[in-house]
Amino acid sequence: MITGKTKITGVIGHPIEHSMSPPMHNNAYKQLNMDYVYVAFHVQPENIEKLINSSKTLDIKGLNVTIPHKTTIIPYLDEIDETAEKIGAVNTIQFKNGIAKGYNTDGIGAIKSIQEHTTLQDKNILIIGAGGASKAISFTLINENINSLTIANRSQNNAENLINNIKKQTEFTNINYQQINNVDEILNQTDIIINTTPIGMYPNHQVKPPIKTDNINNKHVVMDIIYNPLETQLLKQAKENGATTINGTSMLINQGLESFKIFTGKEATYESFEEALLGQLKK
Ligand SMILES: NC(=O)c1ccc[n+]([C@@H]2O[C@H](COP(=O)([O-])OP(=O)(O)OC[C@H]3O[C@@H](n4cnc5c(N)ncnc54)[C@H](OP(=O)(O)O)[C@@H]3O)[C@@H](O)[C@H]2O)c1
């Protein structure tokens, strides 16, 4: 029951109605018997400047941030975590003692999901896409003692911007660009493949995968961060070729669990988030 003591958390976005975060967080609050609520707030881009002060006024404890506010919110924060600053995007804001601090849990969410299946040390990793999710995953992955990172993307320019940013801001240098149409040439030197493009997402789930899959085999781990459908064409074909596959639900759950910890100082169970998410996706 919502009482006078209930603490407020939530997510801001535009649009926001389809966010999977409210059911996941609220299910965890319920199972842990915590007097918290998680609400979706539709915030127009022109109102982003007022958001931080309004949240402090209302004593909101934490907010997730989604499209299109992940970058534009940054100038209004009091503090920003080092990795989020390098990524240039925030998906989690903690409000504590009057300070609004931004974090990015997307990268750590992806890494935890991969680590449920394999190790990252000395691995050669291929990321398809160079947008927001790719940035978050790339900047987080390079702290995990990987051997190499290759970025394949439709626009070479966007991939090269990301590569140059990483080289400028970190000490990681074994990072290269590969044309998206030619990635099969490097698959025999690749251990882990991560799709961060929306290719294959519902309602366009029947389209061809973003890369040729003939050379994917049982030595590969393939993650698609798309969670609807649960099995994209890329994952389906990779699985048929014997690869280990990971769908986007685990990244979504793990990034949410990290945000939950930042908001409340408590750990929610993976199962409480998963149960709520799969329930929503079935609808
Ligand atoms: N599971 C999770 O927790 C999670 C978290 C975040 C995002 N996601 C999913 O990840 C996907 C990407 O999100 P984002 O925020 O990174 O988006 P974004 O910033 O818009 O980046 C999209 C990337 O995909 C490429 N792309 C888009 N359409 C393409 C097409 N038709 N053909 C080839 N390349 C194309 C873009 O290439 P160009 O550079 O050439 O434009 C860009 O590199 C979405 O499907 C989103 O739902 C999942």
Atom of ligand 1 nearest to the CA of 133: 16
Q: Which of 70, 138, 157, 197 to mutate to test the pocket of ligand 1 (most atoms within 8 A of CB)?
A: 197
- Tell me the chain's radius of gyration from C-alpha atoms: 19
Judge contact between 153 and 181, C-beta under 8 A: no
Domains of the chain: 7-104+251-282 (3.40.50.10860), 107-247 (3.40.50.720)
Query: Rounded CA gap, 14 and 45, in Å?
Result: 8
pLDDT tens digits along 23-62? 999 999 999 999 999 999 999 999 999 999 999 999 999 9
* Strand extents, DSSP E, 232-274: 244-246
pLDDT digits (tens, 9 = 90+) for 156-211: 999 999 999 999 999 999 999 999 999 999 999 999 999 999 999 999 999 999 99
33 CA → ligand 1 middle, Å: 36
Please give the distance, rounded to the nearest whole angstrom, from the Cα atom of residue 129 to the centre of ligand 1: 6
Q: Measured from the CB, is residue 194 less than 6 Å from ligand 1? A: no
Convert the pLDDT of each residue in 101-118 to its tens digit.
999 999 999 999 999 999
All residues at 6 or more sequence positions from 11 whose CB lies less than 8 Å from its CB, including other chains? 19, 21, 22, 38, 39, 40, 41, 63, 64, 65, 66
Q: Which atom of ligand 1 is nearest to the CA of 225?
A: 1
Residue closest via CA to ligand 1's atom 42 equals 131
Residue 128 Cα to ligand 1 midpoint, Å, equals: 9
Cβ atoms of 65 and 92 closer than 8 Å: yes
Residue 147 tokens, joined: 């051997």
Parallel, antiparallel, or unpaired for β 221-224 and 244-246?
A: parallel
Q: Which of 5, 7, 61, 70 is catalytic?
A: 70
Q: What angle do CA 138, 139, 141 make, to 5 degrees?
A: 60
